[in-house]
Each structure stands twice: as structure tokens, then as C-alpha cells.
A and B are shown apart, each in its own frame.
Chain A
Amino acid sequence: MNLTLKIWRQKNANEKGKIVEYKVGDISPDMSFLEMMDVLNNDLIENGNDPVAFDHDCREGICGSCSMYINGEAHGPARAVTTCQLHMREFKDGETIYIEPWRAKAFPIIKDLVVDRSAFDRVMQAGGYVSVNTSGNTLDANAIPVPKEDADQSFNAATCIGCGACVASCKNSSAMLFVSAKVSQLALLPQGQVEREERVLNMVDQMDSEGFGNCTNTGACEVECPKEISLENIARMNREFLAASVKSKK
């Protein structure tokens, strides 16, 4: 395959960026999208040019590092995959592909396609945990039975990889899908009950202060989420937040 790539190049956070055109040839349909990017970068380096910077690590769809906005969609045209799992067979020979970074106020660009997603970490630090010390002196793991359905639903929410595709896809740059996945995971388990109210209030508070937008129920996040995290989680978080706000003395 031969392709034309139009890629966002930006030297660093302070300089202005622009779309630059590149050509790549001899691309196999069995290559992953990032392997295609490797081919481009190899060409660039051999010709004495600066390669395109992009985040990637596991290349099997689980670490959440890769983050490319391809032809106007987070992680490209295929559903339920990250960029690293996207294969070139999804594209046609001769096609022009636009590649941009995640765009959101809360995710400032570091270089080219690399953005700073530490806002997600800070939201987690605000309450995305059960406050139990790692002493090992806890109850036996089977002391509290958990209904299989609750455990499964909690697991489904917990499969979020924190890539930020939800934010990048949302016209409001809302992080509701990400935050609600963690709130749901813990709200559905008996272990998460003690801090249930405090958790949702603190996490939402941090989410707002990071500059993420509000949710207007367009559902784009769910469509683009590589792990197919359900919108139900946002509904659950809204209920949790409302209940906690009413009870809260704040």
C-alpha cells in the first residue's frame, strides 16, 4: 500500500504546530498502525529528519499509552481497538490519513502527537481507591460473597485503560466516562461502600478543576472507547453524585 499521511507536528508545548504531509510506501495490510508509523520514522531518521513523537508502549491494547486521533476519530475507524491494535487492512491503498493528537484543554500537547494526561492521575489521586493499608491483615478474600453479576459489572467498568479517547471524542472534552468507570467499579463492590459518597464528590470536584467539560449525553465517548465502557456508568455516577451531594454537609 502507498499512503499519504497528514500529521500534526509541534516541536514543544510553547511553539505553534501545523499539519505536515508525508508519503509512505510498501505498507503491508497486516501491519499495525504503529508499525506503519515506525516505517515512516525510520525513513525520516535515515533522511536526517526528526521522527514523529508518539506515545506507545505495550502495543497490545492494554497500557493505554497510544493516543492518535485518526481521520477525525480517536484510535481511528475500527471499533473497540486502541491505535496499536488498528491494522492497515482498515485502510485503502492510496488513501490520505490525517493523524492528530488528543485535543482537550486538560491534555496539553507536549510534542507532536504526545499529550500530557496527568490530569487523569490527579483525578484518581482524589479518591479512586479504597483506603485500606497493604498490611495483609484484612478479611479472608471469601469472607464477603459478592454476587457474580455485581462483580462482573464492576469488572467491566474496571477494564478502562485511561487512554483518554473519551475526552478526545467529546465535543465538551468531558472526562465523565473515565471518572464514572472508577466510581462505578468501587460503588458496585461491598469493599467500596465506606467511602462511596466522599469518593464521588472528591473525584468529580477534581475532574472539574482540571478543566474537563460537562457531559451532554451525546454518547461519542462510548462509541470511541476501545474498551467499550458503557454510558450506564455515567448515569450511575450522576445518581451517586446526586445522592452524595444531598447527604453531604458541604
Chain B
Amino acid sequence: MSKLDAKIPKGPLKDKWTNHKNTINLVNPANKRSIDVIVVGTGLAGASAAASLAEMGYNVKSFCFQDSPRRAHSIAAQGGINAAKNYQNDGDSVYRLFYDTIKGGDYRSREANVYRLAEVSTNIIDQCVAQGVPFAREYGGLLDNRSFGGVQVSRTFYAKGQTGQQLLLGAYSAMSRQINKGKISMFNRHEMLDVVIVDGKARGIISRNLVTGEVQRHSAHAVVLASGGYGNVFFLSTNAMGSNVTAAWKAHKKGAFFANPCFTQIHPTCIPVSGEYQSKLTLMSESLRNDGRIWVPKNKEDVEAIRSGRKKPTELTEDERDYYLERRYPAFGNLVPRDVASRAAKERCDAGFGVNETGEAVYLDFASAIERYGKEQANIKGLDESDKELITSLGKAIVKAKYGNLFQMYEKITDDNPYETPMKIYPAVHYTMGGLWVDYNLMTNVPGLYACGEANFSDHGANRLGASALMQGLADGYFVLPYTIGDYLADDIRTGAIPTTLPEFDEAEQKAKDKLQQLIQNNGTKPVDYFHKKLGKIIWNECGMSRNKEGLLKAIDDVTALREEFWKEVQVPGSIDELNQELEKAGRVADFLELGELMCKDALERAESCGGHFREESQTEEGEALRNDQDYTFVSAWQYAEKPSDSVLHKEELAYENIELKQRSYK
């Protein structure tokens, strides 16, 4: 097991990070100038890492497949970012954020990493404000907070429903400053096709210029992957169309372990699927659960009447509604964690209470909030509280100020006005907790190869809490990686530039080119999407919100067969030497077809329920996820073999020294 040394520093939990920073090796400023670092991806983790490394003096090469680094999918994060500032004086602390995150992750994350995350969270807010990120403020001019699922404090900072956008533009501006200084070379519209390993160390990448089609070599002393998650394996997800696993998967095939691939997050509040043509799903921020109440009708007759259009949801009285989250989880109510809320929605819909034509939707209702805010405003302004119309219009104004853009987005897509009628929502794939295995320094088991943000596995266990992805991305990129990478690079100060003429580069480039040729010359008859949609359905049905042994075994066979069909039947038009979006898609789907199998294998291996991973065989009498700490308190880290089904499992045992493992309860 020596291969899986997490390198967690000794000493008390709260001193680990400080002590570690004090004792690791540094690279002096003059030497940094002769060291190159490649960063793949420009989301929160990649952009913040690139900017920070460049500020410190390293030569950074940054890559993104989009036409500008500002478009990475972190931009779409809506609700907010957590930080243990305790500005609301509601009893928050670093320890509480740490505890909530471990508990929220259902005790499958590393204590030391999570504590560090909570510790640096406060710096992130200071940093972003200094960059000019316009967070929401109260009338006194101080920062406002709201609450998210799975916690009982208000620690979430936000910028309306565009927090991810504002934070990413902050990181992008920091990057822009370094690009202007010449410290970052930016490669837009470039996709990484492979990582190059020389003498056991990551020393560069092979990339493709997506405009000219040219396959290129780039060398560096270290490679940082900040390439995001793999939610698009499901075809339908809230990820961007281009989000993919290729960078991480190619690293996996070159020796990096892939950890907990079956830990995926299904977000409870997304706009339901409306037809076969659908290309992606849209999230409605979790922040809406601060004020929205989730319900379905109590009686099947009302369900039928609503589905057939004979009744409107607003016509149902309070008695005729089942606020099932409030009923089942009185302590947390509508703000239970995502995995719990998603499963509860599925349970109601499977029982036949879904409120749209497909039977896969529940209501998210703002009527009570509108009334409550309306009364509050009337009170403040000394107006008549019994005037219903006035209360409604005052209340709507407050709801609009809080969630205006989300309501607008909902209306654009569904053609329904959520101020007048409840939103319809259903769970959808949103985030992947699994990812490349990394140690405390965020280095994979391949020396010199780092992974940060959603691309790694380390902080969220089996379920991520809301508003913690932004926190982790920026923590990794601004405050963790820039320090820890120095410890490794300190040995490279005399290495000099890595030549791209090494045979390892020749080989990797040739392989990448061969793969592209194979796709183009395949002469199949089916477009890439045909396979991607099929894969998505298999994974969604058998490795989605609930999983069982039989289904997973079947899924493994199905994915294997589909992969074989793909390589026989896929048709990719055009040529390699041009902008070819089908070719890009084909390469990504080829990797998803391998990853999908590993996900199912991982889910099969973990015969317990935890967080987002719900094995039907392992549940309590009330249908809640039942962990098996005796046998499964470990991280599954998979080593690639010739094919995904032959992958070898390595276990990193998780030691809980500061937190007692408990059955998670939000009741």
C-alpha cells in the first residue's frame, strides 16, 4: 500500500497546514523563473492556480478548449460560496464548516484536507473582494449571507444567482494581468490529448489546436490538471456541452489512480427533461430552497387532474399538499443535503406523484415566501397587512431581488411564470465527487502530476454540500497548490528546460495522431451523439440515483458492448486538419465509454450506501442510506489495466481521529 501514501502531516488537526507550510521546500524567486508549469483548464481551480503560480514567478502555460478562459463552466455556478467568516454571528467556525463538510460527505473524505479547506475558506472571500468581485451586500455596506443545504448557519456568500460567474471573472482578471505581463502563455481553443511521462515524472502534454487541427507538444516541470468533472458521462447533465473527462482519463491511463468514480452528485432542483431532443439540463440554484417549499399532491386524483390540465397546482389547499421534505426531515426541512433531497423526489415520483406528463417532476413553491416577505415589507413601511394584493406585490419584489435572474431563466426555458405558479423541478446530474486520486499536496500518484478542483476527489467524500465547489476550486488554486507544488519543484531548479524532442514525446504524439486518424477513417454510419445518448441512458438507469448489483453487472456488459459498437460504427465527418467539432466530441465520448464502465465497477465494489451512492441492498427501514463503516471506510483508487474491467483496486483507509462516525441524520 506504499503507493497510496496520502502524506498527511503529523500533529494536531488545526496545526497540520500551518506546520506543513512551514516545513516544505521552497523555490527561490530567481529559480522560479527557470521552471515551467502547465495548467490544463481555466475554471476556478485552473484560473486561480495559473494566476497564482505566475504571480509567484513560475512560467505558466495555460490551456482551455473554449475560445476564452472566461468561458469555463465554473461560470455557470449560481448560488454561492461558503466561508467560515461567521459574519452573521450564528455560531459558525472553521471547525463547524469542517464538521458539516465531513458529515455532508457521509464520512468518506479525508479529515486533514477538509480541515484545510475550511481554514483557507475565509481568505478566499477577502481575496475576491480585493479583486473587485461584487458580492451581495446589506444596506450597511457589509457582505450578505444566505444558507445552503445540510447546514444550520448562514455562511454562503453570493452575487445574486451568478456567484460562479463573478468569482471566475475575478480569477480570469488575475490571469489576464499575468498574461499581459507575459508570465502566462494562454492557449485558447486547445485540447489536451495526453500527458507525457518521462522517467516516471509528468513532463508535458500533447495538445490539439482546435482551429488548425495541429497536434503539438508542450513540456514543463509539472503538469496541473484542473479539467473539471465527468458528469457528461450521463449525456444529460447540468455540465456544459464541452465538459469532458479526457484530460483526467488520459492521465489515468498513464498511471494516475482514479478515485471513487461512482461518487456522483444528482442535484435535486433542475428543470425537468422535456423531450428526446434535449441536449442538456438546467440547474435551478439550491439557494432557492431557502425560500421555496417542495411538495407534491397528497392524493393521486389531484396528480391526475394536474397532469391532464384539469387542475392548477395553485388550486390545491394546504391540506391537499405533501411537503414531503418538511414531513420527513423536520430539523432541516427543505434544506436537507442534495443526495437526500434528490432521493426523496425520486421516491415520490416512483410512487406515482410526479406532477408533469412524464411523471418526473415535483413542485418548488414560492407562495409562502412571497407572503412572508410581503408582510415583512408592509410592516417596515407601515402599510396595510390585510391587503392581499399589496402583500403579494411587495413580496414578489423581494423575491425578484433575491432570485430574479433564476426566475427569468426558468420562464425562458419553460414558458411558465414562477411568480404565479410553482416551479417544476427534478433531480439531474450536476457534479462528480470522484476524480483523480491526490495526496495532501494535491499530487496524483504520478510525480509532478497534480489535480485540483472538481478533477480531484479529495474534499467532498460521497456527497458535496452546496456552495462548496466554488470554495474548493479557489482554495486549491489560490492557496493550496501554489505552496505545495514548490515542495516538488524544489528538486527541479537545475533541470533546465525539458526538451520536447525526447522519445516519450514522439510516442505520445504519434499515439494521439493515430487515435484521431482512426476516428476520422472509421467509415461508420452513426453520429457520435447516438452513442453518447445510449451511454447516458445506461449510466443514468443503472448507476444514477439508486444502484443494485444486478443492474450494475448488466450495465458493465452494456457499456462494453456499446464501446465495441462505437469503434465499429461511429461516423466522424471532415478531416483532422481543421476546426472539427464532431472529431472533438468523438474523442471525448470514446473516453466516457471507458470511464462509464469503471464507474459501474466501482459502484458494484462498494456494497454499501453512502452519500450520493445509494445501493438498494443497503438501506435503513425508513429507506435512508445505510453505511457500512466496518468494511468501506476507505477511498477506492483504481489503477488502469488494459481495459476498465481489469482495473486494480487500491484502498486508502480513512482514519477519523477528530470526528466520530455516525449515521447521518437530518431529521
Contact = CB atoms under 8 A, between A and B. Distances in A.
Interface string B264-279: 0000000000110111
Nearest to B181: A125
A231 interface: no
Nearest to A60: B282
B428 to A, nearest CB: 12
Contacts of B241: 56-59
A142 B87 CA distance: 9
B66 A151 contact: no
A93 interface: no
Contact of A136 (B238, B478, B571): B478
Contact of A185 (B75, B129, B134, B143): B134
B51 interface: yes
Contacts of A151: 134-137, 141
A134 B45 CA distance: 13
Interface SS majority for chain A: loop
B589 to A, nearest CB: 14
Nearest to B65: A57
Contacts of B131: 129-130, 132, 191
A163 to B, nearest CB: 10
A45 B134 contact: no
Contacts of A133: 55
Interface string B407-420: 01100110100000
Contact of B141 (A46, A85, A126, A148): A148
A50 interface: yes
Q: Please indicate which of the listed interface residues B143, B188, B579 has the most CB atoms of chain A within 10 Å of its own CB.
A: B579
Given A59-B280, A129-B176, A141-B143, A120 B68 contact: yes
A91 interface: no
B133 to A, nearest CB: 8
B180 interface: yes
A63 interface: yes
A52 B434 CA distance: 35
A101 to B, nearest CB: 13
Given A62-B76, A87-B413, A138 B127 contact: yes
A62 B162 contact: yes
A148 B138 contact: yes
B68 A134 contact: no
B48 interface: yes
A106 interface: no
B68 A162 contact: yes
A49 interface: yes
B573 interface: yes
A180 to B, nearest CB: 15
Interface in B478-525: 478-479, 482, 525
A3 to B, nearest CB: 14
A247 to B, nearest CB: 21
Nearest to A67: B67
Interface in B129-181: 129-132, 134-143, 159-160, 162, 165-166, 169, 172-174, 176-177, 179-180
B277 A147 contact: no
A32 B281 CA distance: 12
Given A64-B70, A134-B55, A162-B70, A139 B130 contact: yes
Given A32-B279, A124-B173, A142-B87, A134 B478 contact: yes
Nearest to A48: B573
B277 A39 contact: yes
A34 B280 CA distance: 11
Nearest to A188: B134
A58 B162 CA distance: 14
A249 B76 CA distance: 42
Contact of A89 (B70, B138, B211, B415): B415
B85 interface: yes
A116 B143 contact: no
Contacts, number: 220
A58 B134 contact: no
B130 A130 contact: yes
Contacts of B582: 45, 51
B66 A57 contact: yes
Contacts of B180: 125-126
Interface string B434-473: 0000000000000000000000000000000000000000
B309 to A, nearest CB: 16
Interface string A7-18: 000011000000
B73 interface: yes
Contact of A129 (B75, B174, B282, B581): B174
B275 A31 contact: yes
B649 interface: no
Nearest to B70: A162
B130 A63 contact: no
A62 B408 CA distance: 13
Contacts of B214: none
A150 to B, nearest CB: 9
Interface stretch (A152-160, A166-174, A217-225, A232-240): A152-160
A202 to B, nearest CB: 9
A61 B134 contact: no
A125 to B, nearest CB: 4
A60 B240 CA distance: 9
A159 B162 contact: yes
Contacts of B330: none
Given A85-B413, A117-B67, A141-B85, A192 B76 contact: no
B67 A31 contact: no
Contacts of A138: 126-127, 129-130
A48 B572 CA distance: 9
Interface string B577-607: 0110110000000000000000000000000
Contact of A110 (B120, B138, B211, B574): B211
Contacts of A62: 75-76, 162, 165
A136 B127 contact: yes
Given A53-B581, A117-B67, A81 B127 contact: no
A35 B67 contact: no
B130 A132 contact: yes
B52 interface: yes
Contacts of B526: 46
Contacts of A85: 409, 412-413
A155 B409 contact: no
Contacts of A124: 70, 172-173, 176
Interface string A109-138: 011001011101100111011111111101
Given A80-B408, A132-B131, A136-B479, 19 more contacts: A30-B415, A34-B279, A57-B242, A58-B240, A58-B241, A62-B76, A63-B76, A64-B70, A87-B413, A118-B188, A132-B130, A138-B127, A138-B129, A141-B128, A142-B143, A147-B137, A148-B137, A154-B132, A189-B134
Interface of A: 11-12, 28, 30-32, 34-35, 38-39, 42, 44-46, 48-51, 53, 55-65, 78, 80-81, 85, 87, 89, 110-111, 114, 116-118, 120-121, 124-126, 128-136, 138-142, 145-148, 151-152, 154-155, 158-159, 161-162, 185-186, 189, 191-192
19 contacts: A30-B275, A34-B279, A39-B277, A57-B71, A58-B73, A60-B280, A62-B162, A65-B71, A128-B173, A129-B177, A134-B51, A134-B127, A138-B126, A139-B130, A141-B125, A142-B87, A151-B135, A162-B70, A191-B132
For the complex of A and B, list the 3 residue pairs with the smallest distance between their C-beta atoms, beginning with the closest: A145-B141, A129-B173, A136-B123
